[in-house]
Amino acid sequence: MLLALLLCYAGFTALCLSMDRHHGALLHSKPSPRRRLGLRVGGWVLLLVSIWPAVHMAGWSRGLVDWCAVLMLSALLLVWLLPYRPRLALILASVGLLVSPVAAFAVI
């Protein structure tokens, strides 16, 4: 479930950064249309890929339920961090993407 959590959090952070308001608050610039599209596509791809470890570990019936719980947990964590610790939200997403290959080997 760790891999699914890391991917979901990174996906939600990418979707968050694709919005002008959050991108400006976190990175102090407006995203270009190309960057905005890349962040949106990357965020959705990460969210879709995060289904795989959940289903792989627990099967389709339980895995989808676990994946929904991980989705809610990662979104809740991001929503709590954005107003109070925005830099920590970015750091966690970056570290999550760096650690996810290690977590992927634990799943396999």
Residue-level pLDDT at 57: 87
Q: What is the pLDDT of residues 16-62, one digit of tens each?
A: 999 988 888 888 889 899 999 999 999 999 999 999 998 998 899 99
Number of CB atoms found within 10 A of residue 65's CB = 12
Residue-level pLDDT at 8: 95
Provide the residue ranges of all domains of the chain, joining segments of one domain with +: 2-107
Mean pLDDT of the chain: 91
Burial of 46 (0-12, 13-18, 19+ CB in 10 A): buried
Question: Do the Cβ atoms of 17 and 31 come closer than 8 Å?
Answer: yes
Using pLDDT thresholds of 50, 70 and 90, give the confidence band for residue 107: low
Burial of 101 (0-12, 13-18, 19+ CB in 10 A): exposed
